[in-house]
Amino acid sequence: MSLNGGAAGPCIGLVAGNGRLPLLFAQAVQGRRLVAVGHVGETDPHLTEWVADLCWVRLGQFQKILDFFLRHQVTWVVMAGGITKAHIWRARPDRIALKMLFSLLHRHDDMLLRGAAAILEERGFLLRSVTDFVPEFLAPAGLLSRRRPTEAEWADVCFGWEAAKALGRLDIGQGVVVRQKMVAAVEAMEGTDAMILRAGALIAGRGWADAGGGVLVKVAKPIQDHRLDLPTIGPNTMRRMHEAGIVVLAVEAGGAMILEPEETVALADRLNLVLLGCRAEDVRAAGHPPGAEEVLHDH
């Protein structure tokens, strides 16, 4: 029997994608009634061990999701985890999904997620954020690692922030890799890990004016619905960065999630990386050196 089987209270319906987030969410909300929809080829099968019931669907099977949630009398719906963007083209949308797709101006991430959310809300389900239930996942403001950024690294963070926000306004991605105020890579269909790998080949080696490395900035899109798709990092992000020669990661405080935060920070320190939770006022405060108390408030 699932560990969640005897839980009480309003039922939560989890729409689970790939990655660690769905599993970590399910583990964090034990004691609540939780059922989940998993996507074939995306969702970790171990999720079944942490929910009262799990329904497997293929991308685009909205009616099956709705029927499953209605059968379990779901009140709240949480979306967690991504879908490999290349797999979108393999979807076999049902009638509900086709109607949604035809109504969209484009098929970028945020528009697709908003369309899916609208379908759920029209059927009476209440959309909630992962961080409504697990607030400790939300990135805090300040310097989270022991190592502070150098002046050059902080300048790249500020430059990368504006570049990432511009990218987000076009609903393309949530992250950029920068070195010496040059954008080496932007996140698009391939996702963060593939972007980091691609950027590593561009920022490594000789020919740079300094001996530093790249800076990764991940922010929420300006139009982001925080219930649907917040930027997410974790221990694996630290490992990928280290392998690629990226030495600083700045995420948006209150607008990004840090999974397994203690392990993530410990790994950043072990690898001598910088990890920052930044706010708009931090990066737009001209003239402030990196690490100044009025810019980065240590925890």
Q: Which domains does the chain have, with CATH numbers?
A: 8-134 (3.40.50.20), 138-283 (3.40.140.80)
Q: What is the pLDDT of residue 105?
A: 42
What is the model's pLDDT at position 106? Answer: 45
Cβ neighbour number for residue 197 with a 10 Å cutoff: 14
Pick the closest to residue 270 from 298, 296, 235, 232 (CA basis). Answer: 235
Contact 212, 150 (CB under 8 A): yes
DSSP H helices in the chain: 21-28, 62-71, 95-103, 109-122, 130-133, 151-169, 192-203, 235-244, 261-270, 280-283
Indicate left, alpha or beta for 31 from its phi (over 0: left) and psi (-120 to 50: alpha). left
Answering whether pTM is above 0.75, one says: yes
| Mean pLDDT per 10-residue segment, the chain (299 residues) | 59 93 95 94 94 92 91 94 68 68 51 73 88 94 94 93 90 90 88 90 69 87 75 94 95 94 96 94 64 44
Which has the closest alpha carbon to 80: 123, 34, 141? 34
The pLDDT, as a whole number, for residue 157 is: 94
One-letter amino acid identity for 6? G
Rg of the chain over all Cα atoms, to the nearest angstrom: 20
